[in-house]
Every structure is written in structure tokens, then in C-alpha cells.
Amino acid sequence: MLTALYVPANRPDRFAKAVAADPDLVVFDLEDAVPVADKADARGWAVAWVAANASGPVEIRVNALHSPWIADDLAAICAVPSVRLRVPKVESAADVHAVLEKVPSARITALIESPLGVERAFEIATADPRVVAVALGEADLSSALGVDSPAGLAWSRARLVSASRAAGLGAPMMSVYPNVHDLDGLRKTSQEGRALGFVGRTAIHPRQLSTIVEAFTPTPAQVTAAEELLAAVEKADVTNGGVLVLPDGRMVDPAMIGRAREVTALMREIESRR
């Protein structure tokens, strides 16, 4: 999964447009994007749309766990089978379990937005098999850490990638880039995230999607190297404790082979979109 697109749940006129933009996931946002006065209407619109299009790649971001609106969110969402929820401000496995007790059929993206949540990232990622992803909420986290630049988030980002991989969830997606007009900044920061191990990013406007895909696309040199390595492995016939000795004398271990397969698989996924 390379792209997810937020759409404010109080704007049902944008729902079909968000889907038509063809992200991997559309996230109907009941939380930050929706004024208090619109919470009830937004909940009804989002739940009705998702219920009618349950087979689509959709997710509902509910309000924060300790907010005045979360109980109504979860009660309404119970009517939607196998719904995927993005849960803000998760800080523990207990938070995950509290949501799943109310909506047992849900699949959870746990949004980690505090230093405590970062410290417990692996606990959260392994809280239940119904946790399908973890993600950072970087605006709240930056404020809590007292940092004003991406450099201050480097450790938290790396921690999330490690926790997600260790939990068997695969590489996580990056948080949003808030300036929808600065595509150069989006590209640069996405490439920095790719270097840390992220695969893909959430967006707040359809115009960001193609730049995100571009930034997370392996370079031609990376694809060529991966393909050549896998082709050489196919021909190799000498093994020694899990290490392959290629005809040209190179030693290749399983980790290198696995990474080459990841690169080629990602490239096939990207090419399938074109």
C-alpha cells in the first residue's frame, strides 16, 4: 500500500471524488477535519457510505479515544461488518482492546501521537491480530516532543518502522505533508522517509498522490541491481549454511535476497497502476 487519502466526513460531496482519485485507501475523517457542530452528520454520512461500499478500500478515522464523541462513533460503526478503523491517540494495548470490545469485527490502524505511544509501539502493534497497521500522528507528536523540524522526529519514525516490521505488519506509511502546494517538499520528505524504511504516505489532497508514488518508487539502479541479483541466484548451485556463492564469486545471504524480492515486488505493484 503506497497511498491513503483523507477526506473530511462532513463533505459527502467529496466522497466519490476521493475514491475516483484512486488511492490505495480512502480515509473518512471524523476527527480533526470535522467541526464539533458537524460531528453527528459527518458520522452518519461516513458510516452510510462505507456500509454501502464495504468492499472498497476504505477506512474511518474515529474521534480520539477519550473524546466526547468516540462512544457514538463506535456505536454507529458496529452496523458496518469488517470495517477498518483508524484510531487516534493510541498509547497502549489496552486502548486497542477497548475499541475491539465495542467493534469486534473491526480491523485497526493504530495512530500513535504521543511519546508514550512511541515507547509502546511494539506493544500496540502486537496487541491483537486485528491490528493491521500502525502510523504516526506527527503534528501532535512534534508538539509533545517540543521539536520544530523533521530531524526531531527521526528516532520516532525509525522506532515505528522497526516496531511494525518486528510485529509482522510490514513497512508503515508516513504521516501527511500539510502543504498541498509544495510538491517539492513532499517529494523530498517522502524520499527521506523511504530511506528510513517507510513505504508510502497518507495525503490530504489528490494532487499529492502521484508525487508520493514517484517518491516511493525504487530507482532504476535499485531495480536493476535487484533483478540481476535474483537472476544470479536462480543460476547458483552452491550453498553453504544459507549463503549462496554466485558464479562471479559474490556471497549472498537470505536477507539480501529477501530485500531484492521486496524491491521487485514493489516495482510490479507500481507498474500495475500505470
Sequence ranges of the binding site for Mg(2+): 113, 140
Q: How far apart, in whole angstroms, are the C-alpha atoms of residue 138 and residue 223?
A: 31
Q: How far apart, in whole angstroms, are the C-alpha atoms of residue 194 and residue 33?
A: 27
Q: How far apart, in whole angstroms, are the C-alpha atoms of residue 253 and residue 246?
A: 11
Place of cell 541491481: 225
State the binding site: 61, 113, 140
Q: How far apart, in whole angstroms, are the C-alpha atoms of residue 232 and residue 81?
A: 47
Helices 70-77, 39-52: inter-axial angle, 10-degree rounding: 20
C-alpha cell at 273: 497502476
How many Cα atoms occupy the beta-carbon half-sphere of 33 within 13 Å?
A: 21
Q: How far apart, in whole angstroms, are the C-alpha atoms of residue 44 and residue 26?
A: 17
Output the furthest CA–CA distance in the chain (Å, rounded).
69
* Residue 15 C-alpha from the chain's centroid: 20
Neighbours of 110 (CB within 10 A): 28
Residues 6 or more apart whose CB falls under 8 angstroms from that of 155 comprise none
* Residue 28 C-alpha from the chain's centroid: 14
CA distances, 55 to each of 51, 52, 68, 81 (Å): 9, 9, 30, 10
Residues 6 or more apart whose CB falls under 8 angstroms from that of 165 comprise 171, 197
State the binding site for substrate: 61, 113
